[in-house]
Amino acid sequence: MAAQIPDPLPTGFQLGEYAIDRKIGGGGFSMVYLAFDPAGLPVAIKEYLPDGMVGRDGDGTVRPISEDKEKTFRQGMKYFFDEGRTLANIRHPNVVEVVNFFRANETVYMVMRYERGKTLQRHIHDLHEEPMREGFVRASFVQLLNGLREIHAQRLLHLDIKPSNIYVRQDGSPLLIDFGAARHVLLADQKYVPMYTPGFAAPEQYNQRDRLGPWTDIYGIGASMYTCIAKRPPPPANERLEEDKLGSAAKDFAGTYSPDFLALIDNLLRLPYTERPQSVFSVQKRLIELVPAHARPAKQSLMEVIKQKLTQPL
């Protein structure tokens, strides 16, 4: 049976100081709306609204559908609120900007800066059978990894990196969005039900939660890069542990992409977490080094290469 999905807030609904325009996304644990602030500027508002767990009254109030759902709903709402508070303190051009968060209608709302563009998943879909350019993938992920480094510096893991959670602005710059699965590295409470997306979740997200670390998000980066070139995600990691049918990107896509680029993707998707790169910086450094040596000025520092790469057109 499909999970019960509450109705979205209607057009014109006044949510605090914000006027709801329409639903623009969401699913699973939240609903996202386009809304306008008092100055008439557009914002995106994310409402904590887990499917199959809550219903909505006529006045917009959200209520658990049963007593046994209430505890899980309240626990998830606490995490949602805590993540909004954490993200509100992060200002980075490659991380979604949270400008406000508040409680209303017996749930929690996260107000984010509205960005024009489309998800990387939509970009992949729109290419149809045309291969995605390696230069675009490299440039996009070099920038995105800057944002992920900032997230990890705050002792936070994203844990749900995938093309649908990577937003590409109209100017081509990427944005890491949807931190619904994010968790503090030092989170002591292990009772929370883990959230992950098969194909993009690392093996340790299934049954080794004590081994989560930057390398876990790095697997998601590798799976997202793989999806860019294969137009499909890798098999779920738990299935790969039983019988690994993924194959090798270096062999499957030879001739279309450079050998070193494909070897990096294979490395990011290794099943044992100790065999993957252990830091985002090391992945970023490797992506930059993929730029042919003849295309880089002699004696150029790593930061100069990054700066140059980020200013190049996609």
As a whole number of angstroms, the distance between CA 31 and CA 14 comes to: 16
Closest C-alpha among 65, 167, 79 to residue 122: 167
Residue type, 30: S
As a whole number of angstroms, the distance between CA 34 and CA 18 comes to: 10
Non-local (6+) Cβ contacts of 130 within 8 A are: none
On whether 162 is known to bind a ligand per the annotation, the reply is no
Q: What is the DSSP letter of 194?
A: P
Tokens of 283: 């992945």
Q: Hey, is 112 helix, strand or coil?
A: strand
**260 φ/ψ angles, rounded to the nearest 5 degrees:** -65, -35
As a whole number of angstroms, the distance between CA 234 and CA 154 comes to: 29
Alpha helices in 179-279 (DSSP H): 204-207, 214-230, 237-242, 249-252, 259-268
Alpha-carbon torsion (109, 113, 116, 119), positive or negative? negative
As a whole number of angstroms, the distance between CA 248 and CA 230 comes to: 11
The residues pairing with 157 across neighbouring beta strands, listed in sequence order, are 183
As a whole number of angstroms, the distance between CA 47 and CA 60 comes to: 11
Q: Which residues are annotated as a binding site?
A: 46
Binding residues for ATP, by number, are: 46
